[in-house]
Structure 1
């Protein structure tokens, strides 16, 4: 028991030290933790250490993804949802298939299905990239896209992994696998949505911030466990529950409760992510020994990992290039709509304009619109104009595309998913080592160069123009607040309540 306590306390101290001193040394904290784990694996206490992968997939990843989903800025997620969904679903599927073909060709005896399984393992990116690029002057849109991608692509990759493992059986059916994939996602979304709604219904009635936060720690598991029991993706359910909580919490939970959640969940994220990379380093020695004992050596596995990493970057670059072209066309279409939206917004500010829009809508067949319908329409116009201004103010060019491509690093999910490969997987130790090596090389090469690369690519900043934009933004926000407050009715005075000044006058009169 004492040894276990020493290990836990030492691990926490190492995680804290790596987080503080890693960036100062110019090394990503996950790499420091992996190195410490490798060094610890040579100690007798860790000679036979083996972490069950289910502990990571079912005990670590649900709270990590839930926490990231809750903290995701709702407005940015909505605006970039098209790009995020493409990066986290289409790109992961494409990368898994291309890598599956590559692995089937270069690793003898595994076949295409196991190749796709390994491709799904190394396809998802890690959220560590976001923490690095936030320290540079990269566009907020890039940060939002990478945040959303790292949030959703983990679940996509693990669903593909599960489907590929099923595909290795003799009774595999393509349409059956597609149906399993769809069922896994749809049921998980439904379970996550219900749990997220119940979470807010319960927690809005709990006033104690500490108790409220304790309840929040159970939410990702309450979403993930039933989803897994129904044969769906527990990670997708945890993500959906987190998104619903993040969207509705500002309206239903008190600021004190939300502040407590934020502080405590950041601590949980730090500890869990650090623990994953430490265990990766601890188990790396055993994986290498298995490869050397069962196969020719680690050299081939490292070469395969290098090729896989190059392919992931190449596929990502091709996809992001096409994505930027698509987003550019969409932005130009929105720009053409801007004058029309401005005209409609101006009409909505006058009674005559409202009446004109109401008459036009009433002339169409169907239900006659009400005043509340017009109010919702006005909100949609305002939101549409704000979106147009956002996309025009933050265009995506080759610099932003380069950031999105190079910031796609592999990490915790790749490490955890590699350990879930069944024991009867052909050349299992080689596949696990390839996955570990891809994650380590990605963090070392991309993580070590992303900061300097983005600083070199960043265009010169016009301080005066930036200050002017900031001032204009503040002025616009104040105008919105003033116009919003003008429409709020003054609270009615309760009869008999004359306020403090009346009380003072009564006391003065009485004393006189």
Structure 2
């Protein structure tokens, strides 16, 4: 027990230190965490490593990570890009699994085709965590963020279903394309149904409670309950969690109070930070165990098997994107990139960015480790999966941001800032109309409404100035607004002065701690709504 506690605390120290280093250096935290995990795994300490248990990963780590990602995604944007997302998360995963399987079984005769397809399914689904954490910072356009998010949310269900079918075929030595397709459709439809039902249940429970603590406890329990029920019904737990998260994210503005939403976002941001950190460290820690299992294979066999697996994974994705982008109109509409108004086909630069966003992660290792112990060449297959994760996570992770900067993709900062300020302007005008209606119906509210109207009109004037400025830009570079930045700096200094004065009151005994916390929370909320300081925010 003491060793386990020390290991957990050691991992926490690694996660915090690595995150701080990433903030200072600009290097991807996911890459630094994996490298730290590798170094940690080779430390000469008793019990220094945690073995990757696929059941722990699939039941305890994947549901909350998928749910948190779904809460941040947009159901409407996913629907707009549905064909592209489905093409990547279903068809590309299947093609990758088959290509890796055929390639591995051809070069290593000891690996049966069904087993090779199983490991192909394990390495097929990209994990978007690393790619998105880098892409958002480097300015990945919103549409590409939506596509990568959608692909990462849905591809795990496809990969795990193919893996189960392939393992069953390797055990029974029989395979039926019709039976496999039917099983996939049943598992997917069942996952969709369970996710929708769970979302409706949680939505109803939220209507009955106004307690933010109960609301957040319900939110934390939702992904686990959804995944458990789906798995008990032998349908896709992954897909059920994603569907529940997407629907609740879309409906939460109607279901949750402002306080519940603020607390909910903070809770899930913290959960994501810890779980993602431990997951990447866990990936790095598996290297010693994976390498130890290679003693019975010749170096040539190991190198060839790993090279084929990595090569196929790296080649199939850009080829799929390139071919699907140039298909005839009818097939193109079916497999991705429906070129309708407001949603044009992906450009060559966007296709290149998507090609490089295929980093693999913990779901690949969990799937590979779930192969039965008597699987032929299991240790070699685990090594191939591990090399794919390392090559994509470290290689693509380190080069993704420089690639995006060189591509200079359009439609990022200025366009989003313009939409935000247009929405703010519309919202403030609606608020002023509501204020006028209230005063007209009850003249006694007039005096209280005057300062509110002045404050709203000042904000409206500021937003309209930004809309005009952003509308006249000829490129995507945000303009520098020094007055705006000075105003933010002054407001923060004023809040700091208020906080210091309150603390001096507490230290002199004039203000009890309980009252200090109330006033401090008011200042914290004022500070939290201040924008981060971009000139076109």
* Class of the TM-score when normalised by the shorter of the 2 chains: 0.7 to 0.9
Unaligned runs of 5+ in 1: 336-387, 504-512
For 2:369, the equivalent position in structure 1 comes to 419
Which string of whole-angstrom CA distances, capped at 9 and with x for unpartnered residues, describes residues 382-416 of structure 1? xxxxxx3xx36xx6311111000011111121122
Stretch deviating more after TM superposition (395-404 or 420-429): 395-404
Q: CA-to-partner distance for each residue in 1:305-326, whole Å, 9 max, x for gaps?
A: 3332222222111221234346
1:430-482 C-alpha deviation (Å, 9 max, x unpaired): 1011101110011121111111112112169999xx58x95587458746875
1:265 and 2:265 correspond? no
| Aligned residues: CA RMSD | 3.2
Distance 1:26 1:500 in 2: 52
C-alpha contact (below 8 Å) 1:273/1:412 kept by paired residues: no
Q: 1:222 to 1:462 in 2, by over 3 A?
A: closer
CA gap of 1:248–1:284, structure 2 versus 1, over 3 A, is same
Deviations along 1:59-98, one digit per CA (max 9) or x if unpaired, are 1101111111111023322221221111111111111111
Find the counterpart in structure 2 of residue 53 from structure 1: 54
Which residue of 2 is the match for residue 121 of structure 1? Answer: 122
Structure-1-length-normalised TM-score: 0.78
- Equivalent pair of 1:277/1:412 in contact (CA under 8 Å): yes
- Deviation per residue, 1:191-237 (Å, 9 max, x gap): 11101111111123222222211111111111111111111111111
Aligned match of 1:451: 401
Q: How far does residue 500 in structure 1 lie from its aligned partner after superposition?
A: 5.0
Select between 320-329 and 110-119 the one with higher mean Cα deviation: 320-329
Distance 1:332 1:428 in 2: 41
Q: Which residue of 1 aligns with 2:444?
A: 499
Distance 1:462 1:135, change over 3 A: closer
Label 1:252 to 1:325 Cα distance change in 2 as closer, same or farther (>3 A): farther
Classify 1:301/1:46 alpha carbon distance in 2 versus 1 (closer, same or farther; 3 Å).
Answer: farther
Partner-residue secondary structure (3-state), 2:46: helix
**Cα–Cα, structure 1 residues 136 and 35, in superposed 2: closer, same or farther, change >3 Å?**
closer
Deviates further, 206-215 or 185-194: 206-215
Separation in 2, partners of 1:332, 1:94: 21
Question: Does residue 1:176 correspond to 2:121, yes or no?
Answer: no
SS of 1:266's partner is helix
Q: Residue 318 of structure 1 corresponds to which residue in structure 2?
A: 319
Whether 1:404 aligns to 2:349 is no
When residues 108 and 3 of structure 1 are mapped into structure 2, their CA distance, relative to the original with a 3 A threshold, is: same
Deviation at 1:265, TM superposition (A): 1.0
CA distance in 2, matches of 1:98, 1:41: 32
* Alpha-carbon distance in structure 2 between the residues aligned to 1:301 and 1:489: 75
| Corresponding residue of 2:11 | 11
| Gap change, CA 1:175 and 1:479, over 3 Å in 2 | same
**Counterparts of residues 91-490 of structure 1 (less than 5 Å):** 91-127=92-128, 128-168=130-170, 169-292=172-295, 294-297=296-299, 300-325=301-326, 334-335=340-341, 388=342, 391=343, 396-458=346-408, 466=414, 474-475=421-422, 478=425, 490=437
Distance 2:325 2:373 in 1: 42
Is the 1:116–1:161 Cα contact (8 Å) retained in structure 2? yes
Q: Which residue number in structure 1 is paired with residue 534 of structure 2? A: none
TM-score (norm: length of structure 2): 0.75
SS at match of 1:415: helix
Deviation at 1:38, TM superposition (A): 2.5
Provide the rounded CA distance (Å) in 1 between the counterparts of 2:167 and 2:410: 50
- Give SS of 1:20's match: helix
CA distance in 2 between counterparts of 1:204 and 1:283 reads 45
- Name the SS of the counterpart of 1:45 in structure 2: coil
Alpha carbons 2:33, 2:280 under 8 Å: kept: yes
The SS at the match of 2:33 is helix
1:159-210 C-alpha deviation (Å, 9 max, x unpaired): 1111111121134433222221111111111111101111111123222222
State the 1:130 CA deviation.
0.9
1:54 CA displacement: 0.3
Output the CA distance in 2 between the equivalents of 1:151 and 1:471. 29
User: Is the Cα–Cα contact under 8 Å of residues 184 and 231 in structure 1 kept in the other structure?
Assistant: yes
Q: Cα 1:295–1:234, aligned 2, differ >3 Å: closer, same or farther? A: same
Instruction: State yes or no: 1:71 paired with 2:72.
Output: yes
Name the CA distance, whole Å, in 1 between partners of 2:438 and 2:394: 61
Higher alpha-carbon deviation: 272-281 or 396-405: 272-281
* Residues 48/81 of structure 1: CA separation in 2 closer, same or farther (3 Å cut): closer
Q: What is the distance in 2 between the residues matched to 1:404 and 1:459?
A: 12
Return the alpha-carbon distance in structure 2 between the equivalents of residues 117 and 81 of structure 1. 27
Separation in structure 2 between the aligned mates of residue 126 and residue 323 of structure 1, nearest angstrom: 21
